[in-house]
Structure 1
Amino acid sequence: MENTQYISAYLAGYLRDMGAKPELFELLSGTSPGDMFIPNSAQIAALNIVPQLGFHDFRLMPKDGLIVATAVDERNPGALERLYEIETFCWKKRPIINLYATSERQGLSPEMASRSTTHIDGFRIDTPSGSYEYGSDRIKLYPNQRLLASLIIDPNVARALGSGSGMVVVNSYTASGVLIGGRIEAPSGGDQAILASFRECL
């Protein structure tokens, strides 16, 4: 009994450390010794057995009098890639996407954010209904802070982005070391939180 308790605690801790949901241990423990728990594809995602890549599970929350949808992807930032969090909302009837780094230290330098010296010339949104390119007049860059950029998109693009998986990519026309982009992984039927955050703009 003592060994069983020790092994159970060890396995539960291991699954937790690996990011799996606690329900996985219950399902494993509830399977008879002569049988084997084999998760289906829905359970693999729901129990976080294989972590989802990209920005997913957007949450609605209030912020500065607005309703925003936000998601983080701890795996996205890298040596050059800065994007850690994506936020969507409607401001003055315009759909906006805010892009954030993990910290101010990983934000943009004044040279990267200044219109006179930046190599960033716009952005691209990939959606199930197509790709949409925007120029520098639709992007605002921020120096020395966690907020990297605000992207102004059209209502039809906002609707398409909320309707399925997509991609947000900030364009740099040189090898400047500026990478800002990430994939949005939506559940079947689209991401309802993203659509709700854009509702006043659609």
Structure 2
Amino acid sequence: MIRNFLHIFMMLVACVFGISANAKDMTFEMLYQNHTNMIVAEGAITSETPDAFQAFLDANPFDGFSLVMALSSDGGSLFGGLRLGQMIREAGLDTTVERHPIDPVSGKPTDETANGGCFSACGIAFLGGVRRSVGEGSRLGFHQFSSAGGSFMKEDSVYITESATQLMGATVLGYIMEMGARPDLFSQLSEALPNEMWEPTVDERAALKIVTTDLFQDFAFTPYGKGVIAWAKSPENVTGRSRVGQVTAYCKGGIPYILLSSVTSAYGVDSQMRSLISEVQTGWSVTSEETGEAVSYGIDFVSIRTEEGLPLAELKLDTHGVEILKGGPVLISVDFPASTGAMFYLRTNPTQDDRAALDASFRLCIR
């Protein structure tokens, strides 16, 4: 849907979006770090940046489990930022805000990190990351889109028709929601004029889901059979070898269970890997990350789903495990070697509403 909007959007605003003549176009460099591929992206975003990024992807194969783009840019073209963010999501990349200083000899970015800044159109592109973080000391900022283009310090603007402005607003809002951030982000950034910059605080970044967390929260509950099930999704938890994107709690035969599932088949586990995991798993555990208290369960308390589909593993627990689970923050992990190519784990820190949903799901088996 957003892609279709972008094509119309580009035709309407291509003539009015530009970039400061003094700004250097965004460049991309691949930095290989053990199991992580880091794409260092610095410079101004133009309408040609998405094409440059596609050419970079075509010429630089990935060779790792974690794919991250480090952004540092004062912004530029809104269309370029929107399309770049969409491409980042399509490639399954994480995003972070940080700089990587250039080695004066090789002319390539180094492993060293420095404070970066990602503003305006760069902030929009940043939202494309599956998992999003801002390095300590780095800055992230947003403001109203402007027909003036270029630097956010530019106060003059050109005329945009009302229909084009409405289309731009709808496109940006739709993009924000599609990328998993709160729709309130749009109203917040709209309050900052084109010559201003709103830099959300750490708490605002979390509340508006500008940055992501690996915690499963916001459990919903749904009637099922004679009781209810409680479930939560966290697509951001699916990265590298981690495969769990949804957790579901329920009661079956008087026994509490939690089901670990993939979010989509694209990030699932094939039948051969499932069979291997079933053979080598040694149980599972739930651990309080606050107190260190843990409950471990043996192999009979794990049922690996070997058939194709989103469900990965059904875990049986008891009253003690349920209490630790609801107490949070906790780590749930199925025990098997990571050398299989997958990991089944998740973290959660239930809120008061989450605990109520979990209580409802376990009501028929925990009294």
After TM superposition, is the score higher than 0.5? yes
Indicate the residue corresponding to 2:88 in structure 1.
Answer: none
Indicate the residue corresponding to 2:324 in structure 1.
Answer: 160
Cα offsets for 1:73-119 (capped at 9, x unmatched): 2122245332121101122332101111233982452674489x711
TM value normalised by structure 2: 0.46
Which structure ranks higher in relative contact order (CA pairs < 8 Å, sequence separation ≥ 6)?
1
TM value normalised by structure 1: 0.78
Percent of pairs identical after alignment? 25
Higher mean C-alpha displacement, 128-137 vs 46-55: 46-55
Distance 1:137 1:79, change over 3 A: same
Indicate the residue corresponding to 1:3 in structure 2.
Answer: 160
Give the match's secondary structure for 2:340: coil
Indicate the residue corresponding to 2:252 in structure 1.
Answer: 91
CA distance in 2, matches of 1:95, 1:42: 34
The one-letter amino acid of 1:63's match is Y
The alpha-carbon deviation at position 27 of structure 1 amounts to 3.4
- 1:14 equivalent to 2:172? Answer yes
The alpha-carbon deviation at position 69 of structure 1 amounts to 0.8
Indicate the residue corresponding to 1:136 in structure 2.
Answer: 299
Candidates 52, 60, 74, aligned match of 2:221? 60
Give the match's secondary structure for 1:162: helix
Determine if contact 1:87/1:98 at 8 Å carries over to the other structure: yes
- 1:48 equivalent to 2:206? Answer no
The one-letter amino acid of 1:76's match is N
Determine if contact 1:165/1:185 at 8 Å carries over to the other structure: yes
Unaligned stretches of 5+ residues in structure 1: none
The one-letter amino acid of 1:29's match is S
Give the match's secondary structure for 1:172: coil
Candidates 192, 195, 198, aligned match of 2:359? 195
Candidates 95, 100, 118, aligned match of 2:279? 118
Determine if contact 1:112/1:119 at 8 Å carries over to the other structure: no
Cα offsets for 1:175-196 (capped at 9, x unmatched): 3224111112433786432233
Distance 1:108 1:199, change over 3 A: farther
Which has the higher Rg, Structure 1 or Structure 2?
2
Cα offsets for 1:22-66 (capped at 9, x unmatched): 223223434689987565555433322223333221110123443
Higher mean C-alpha displacement, 118-127 vs 52-61: 52-61
Give the match's secondary structure for 1:26: helix
User: How many residues end up aligned between the 2 structures?
Assistant: 201
What is the RMSD of the two structures over their aligned residues, measured on CA atoms?
3.4
The one-letter amino acid of 1:26's match is S
The alpha-carbon deviation at position 169 of structure 1 amounts to 0.7
CA distance in 1, matches of 2:270, 2:325: 25
Give the match's secondary structure for 1:167: strand
Determine if contact 2:172/2:186 at 8 Å carries over to the other structure: no
Unaligned stretches of 5+ residues in structure 2: 1-157
Give the match's secondary structure for 1:14: helix
CA distance in 1, matches of 2:181, 2:316: 36
Determine if contact 1:107/1:147 at 8 Å carries over to the other structure: no
Distance 1:122 1:4, change over 3 A: farther
CA distance in 1, matches of 2:281, 2:205: 39
Distance 1:48 1:150, change over 3 A: same
Determine if contact 1:53/1:185 at 8 Å carries over to the other structure: no
CA distance in 2, matches of 1:40, 1:188: 24
Cα offsets for 1:120-179 (capped at 9, x unmatched): 110111224512111101111221232221111111211221122211111015732241
Indicate the residue corresponding to 2:271 in structure 1.
Answer: 109
